[in-house]
């Protein structure tokens, strides 16, 4: 998604803005731009494609202003070309925007009727033109922004720079996050604290509806009614800032390799090693008082929720209703007051998940969020937070955040089972021991990388790939297909193995690899029957199983990945490593940009 930066500095800021934009690259973007004031006059440099193109433009035609705004654009309205790249400007101002102005067509028509000619296909340009019209009417920049904001519908974060005004930036937030950074005689705006990390670790997160007037020494924040408001100034721990790739080729593979460590750290947060029991930090509700739980999330996070449904229902006998947030938010689901609504999100900013959280809150639900970014909007708006301790995840494809979500959710399900009396202490100890063993098994699984890399070369030739699984391996099959699609652009589908014969079996022929996720568990034999059905139709099977599964299946496959043995309950956490490596190596072999796949954004702050 788009990234916003603003700097009120003491010396030329264009390269600092560029540096901050580089730190927002992980969010996904397709063009970028910078605007500064050169002797009081607005000047812009914009470029299609990667930041390197903008950097080149800035080296050919440098900007020297000590105040500036910058933007990485993830196209929503209009193609990702230079014309549509931000900042958008008039003779009065330049503006950058993250989000969508939903009523832009109506506003544009109104402005066009007044004779305004638009240069771009973007929704953002209406904001530039609306504020400009007010400036022409004699309003001050503050008045012009204050009277424009109520006219905008949708989700947006904005930053404005004004012609001739060298000591003021204005920012506004209505949806996507925006942080104010506090420097020494310098002030900053950024889509997240990560962008501002080289300049300051002291930030204030704007609340929804806030807008801020920044000078070099102060930030005055107002709510949507124009009343000045106090917002917390906080230090963001430096260890939550962007890491480097280290010796790894891509952030994604670095993050895959970090999993044993971050999953262990996450488990340690929820488990008492000495006692061998689950001991999550206290929650403001009792599991035994609940009759049902709803779990809502998007993408990979929703697949973590899908696995968790099996855990909560089986271990805690707690019915779970699961939905993707984009559907849940408009479904008007009847929710009994006092029940638990859980939200899972790496970023804590995903627009649909956040909207679902707010809906659940309005329905009197208890709100528990499983989030990776502790300062995120979801974390701030939840009644309780179960943190995942994955650290900053840069790769657009979620890996370590997913396995940390799983570890967190299993710990919670075990604790819920104990409290509800559905798990004996002996069972709890067995499960906790299995969970504690996971990081070491993940390390072992990573040793399979060479073997997986070879198999991936074969997969890279496929046009379509089918993933099958049963029980908790089913959501892992879905996650495998999602990872392969997003990284390699190969069409992939995940199916419950038992659903195969209800349709997808028609697709099977000798060109179709079928990846079967099947730890040796209570449903293994059923999955083997489905594999037989695939083999009988000439399908090529890639089996991901354990030693016993490989032995018992006794089938000809295009490859069998033999995972370390583990308790079937924790298998989804371990088997995630295999499907991540499969997708990663297939995409790398095909020469794809695995850290920033086309069209994708890390934090999806629009609908």
Could you tell me the smallest distance in angstroms from the CB atom of residue 394 to ligand M6R? 12
Query: Cβ contacts of residue 524 below 8 Å, gap of 6+?
Result: 518, 545, 549, 552
Peptide bond into 87 cis (omega under 30): yes
Do residues 606 and 101 make contact, with C-beta atoms less than 8 angstroms apart? no
Cβ proximity to ligand M6R: between 263 and 523 the closer is 263
What is the Cα–Cα distance from 514 to 30, expressed in whole angstroms?
A: 33
The yes or no reply on residue 299 touching ligand M6R (CB under 6 A) is yes
Could you tell me the smallest distance in angstroms from the CB atom of residue 605 to ligand M6R? 9
Residues acting as catalytic residues: 2, 602
Residue range at the interface with ligand M6R (CB under 6 A); choices 281-289, 347-355, 446-454, 549-557? 347-355
The yes or no reply on residue 169 touching ligand M6R (CB under 6 A) is no
Which one of residues 120, 124, 345, 375 is an interface residue with ligand M6R (CB under 6 A)? 345
What is the Cα–Cα distance from 601 to 301, expressed in whole angstroms?
A: 14
Could you tell me the smallest distance in angstroms from the CB atom of residue 482 to ligand M6R? 6
Could you tell me the smallest distance in angstroms from the CB atom of residue 28 to ligand M6R? 9
Query: Which positions from 565 through 604 interact with ligand M6R, judged by CB under 6 A?
Result: 600, 603-604
Residue range at the interface with ligand M6R (CB under 6 A); choices 299-307, 334-342, 453-461, 560-568? 299-307
Do residues 581 and 449 make contact, with C-beta atoms less than 8 angstroms apart? yes
Query: Which positions from 352 through 371 interact with ligand M6R, judged by CB under 6 A?
Result: 353
Query: Which positions from 507 through 536 interact with ligand M6R, judged by CB under 6 A?
Result: none
The yes or no reply on residue 301 touching ligand M6R (CB under 6 A) is yes
The yes or no reply on residue 396 touching ligand M6R (CB under 6 A) is yes
The yes or no reply on residue 605 touching ligand M6R (CB under 6 A) is no
The yes or no reply on residue 300 touching ligand M6R (CB under 6 A) is yes
Beta pairing partners, 366: 340
3-state secondary structure of 106: helix
Residue range at the interface with ligand M6R (CB under 6 A); choices 76-84, 229-237, 343-351, 525-533? 343-351
Query: Cβ contacts of residue 381 below 8 Å, gap of 6+?
Result: 354, 357, 358, 361, 367
Closest listed residue to residue 175, CA positions, set 103, 100, 94, 231: 100
Strands (E), 168-248: 169-174, 179-182, 187-190, 202-205, 211-214, 219-222, 234-235
Beta pairing partners, 541: 514
Query: Which positions from 460 through 489 interact with ligand M6R, judged by CB under 6 A?
Result: 486
Which one of residues 298, 415, 462, 516 is an interface residue with ligand M6R (CB under 6 A)? 298
Do residues 464 and 508 make contact, with C-beta atoms less than 8 angstroms apart? no
Strands (E), 413-528: 464-469, 491-496, 513-517
Residue range at the interface with ligand M6R (CB under 6 A); choices 45-53, 286-294, 346-354, 511-519? 346-354
The 215-244 contact track toward ligand M6R, x by CB under 6 A, reads ------------------------------
Could you tell me the smallest distance in angstroms from the CB atom of residue 596 to ligand M6R? 11
Cβ proximity to ligand M6R: between 8 and 594 the closer is 594
Do residues 451 and 316 make contact, with C-beta atoms less than 8 angstroms apart? no
What is the Cα–Cα distance from 413 to 383, expressed in whole angstroms?
A: 18
Which one of residues 346, 375, 377, 472 is an interface residue with ligand M6R (CB under 6 A)? 346
Cβ proximity to ligand M6R: between 401 and 500 the closer is 401
What is the Cα–Cα distance from 517 to 468, expressed in whole angstroms?
A: 6
> Please, where are the H alpha helices in 114-228?
124-136, 141-148, 193-196
Count, residues near ligand M6R per rule CB under 6 A: 16
CA distances from 272 to 248, 279, 434, 556 (A): 33, 6, 13, 44
What are the respective helix, strand and coil percentages of the chain, to the nearest 5?
40, 25, 35
Cβ proximity to ligand M6R: between 55 and 393 the closer is 393
The yes or no reply on residue 403 touching ligand M6R (CB under 6 A) is no
The yes or no reply on residue 398 touching ligand M6R (CB under 6 A) is yes
The yes or no reply on residue 409 touching ligand M6R (CB under 6 A) is no
Could you tell me the smallest distance in angstroms from the CB atom of residue 386 to ligand M6R? 14
Could you tell me the smallest distance in angstroms from the CB atom of residue 257 to ligand M6R? 17
Note the residues at the interface with ligand M6R (CB under 6 A). Answer: 298-301, 345-347, 350, 353, 396-398, 486, 600, 603-604
């Amino acid at each position: 998604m788009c990234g916003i930066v603003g700097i009120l500095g003491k010396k030329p800021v264009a390269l600092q803005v560029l540096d901050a934009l580089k730190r927002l690259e992980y969010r996904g973007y397709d063009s970028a731009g910078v605007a500064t004031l050169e002797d009081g006059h607005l000047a812009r440099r914009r470029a299609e494609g990667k930041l390197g193109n903008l950097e080149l433009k800035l080296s050919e035609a440098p900007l020297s202003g000590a105040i500036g705004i910058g933007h990485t654009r993830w196209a929503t309205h209009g193609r990702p070309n230079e014309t549509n790249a931000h900042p958008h400007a008039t003779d009065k101002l330049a503006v950058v925007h993250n989000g969508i102005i939903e009523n832009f067509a109506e506003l544009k028509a109104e402005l066009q009727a007044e004779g305004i000619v638009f240069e771009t296909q973007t929704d953002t340009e209406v904001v530039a033109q609306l504020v400009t019209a007010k400036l022409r009417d004699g309003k001050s920049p503050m008045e012009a922004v204050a009277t424009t904001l109520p006219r905008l519908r949708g989700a947006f974060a904005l930053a404005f720079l004004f012609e001739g005004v060298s000591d003021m930036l204005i920012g506004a937030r209505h949806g996507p996050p925006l942080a104010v950074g506090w420097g020494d005689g310098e002030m900053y705006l950024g889509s997240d604290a990560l962008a501002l990390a080289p300049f300051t670790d002291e930030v204030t997160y704007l609340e929804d509806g806030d807008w801020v007037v920044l000078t070099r020494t102060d930030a005055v924040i107002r709510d949507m009614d124009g009343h000045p408001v106090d917002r917390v100034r906080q230090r963001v721990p430096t260890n939550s800032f962007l890491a480097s790739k280290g010796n790894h080729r891509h952030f994604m593979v670095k993050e895959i390799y970090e999993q044993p460590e971050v999953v262990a750290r996450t488990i340690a947060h929820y488990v008492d090693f000495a006692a061998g029991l689950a001991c999550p930090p206290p929650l403001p509700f009792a599991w035994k008082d609940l009759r049902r739980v709803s779990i809502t999330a998007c993408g990979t996070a929703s697949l973590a929720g899908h696995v968790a449904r099996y855990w909560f229902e089986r271990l805690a006998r707690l019915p779970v209703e699961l939905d993707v947030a984009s559907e849940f938010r408009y479904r008007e689901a009847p929710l009994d007051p006092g029940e638990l609504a859980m939200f899972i999100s790496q970023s804590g900013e995903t627009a649909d998940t956040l909207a679902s959280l707010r809906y659940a809150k309005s329905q009197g639900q208890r709100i528990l969020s499983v989030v990776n970014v502790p300062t995120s909007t979801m974390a701030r708006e939840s009644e309780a937070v179960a943190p995942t301790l994955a650290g900053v995840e840069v790769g657009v494809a979620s890996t370590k955040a997913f396995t940390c979500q799983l570890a967190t959710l299993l710990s919670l399900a075990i604790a819920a089972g104990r409290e509800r009396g559905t798990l004996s202490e002996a069972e709890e100890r067995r499960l906790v021991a299995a969970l504690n063993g996971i990081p070491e098994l993940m390390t072992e699984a990573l040793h399979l990388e060479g073997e997986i890399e070879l198999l991936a070369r074969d997969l890279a030739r496929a046009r379509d790939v089918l993933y099958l699984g049963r029980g908790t391996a089913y959501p892992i099959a879905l996650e495998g297909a999602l990872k392969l699609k997003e990284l390699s652009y190969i069409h992939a589908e995940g199916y419950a193995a038992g659903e195969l014969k209800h349709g997808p079996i028609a697709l099977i022929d000798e060109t179709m690899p079928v990846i079967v996720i099947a730890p040796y568990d209570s449903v293994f034999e059923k999955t083997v029957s489905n594999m037989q059905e695939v083999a009988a139709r000439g399908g090529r099977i890639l089996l991901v199983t354990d030693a016993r599964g490989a032995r018992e299946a006794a089938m000809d496959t295009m490859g069998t990945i033999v995972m370390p043995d583990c308790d079937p309950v924790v298998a989804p956490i371990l088997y995630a490593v295999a499907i991540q490596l499969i997708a990663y190596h297939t995409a790398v072999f095909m020469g794809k940009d695995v850290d920033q796949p086309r069209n994708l954004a890390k934090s999806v702050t629009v609908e």
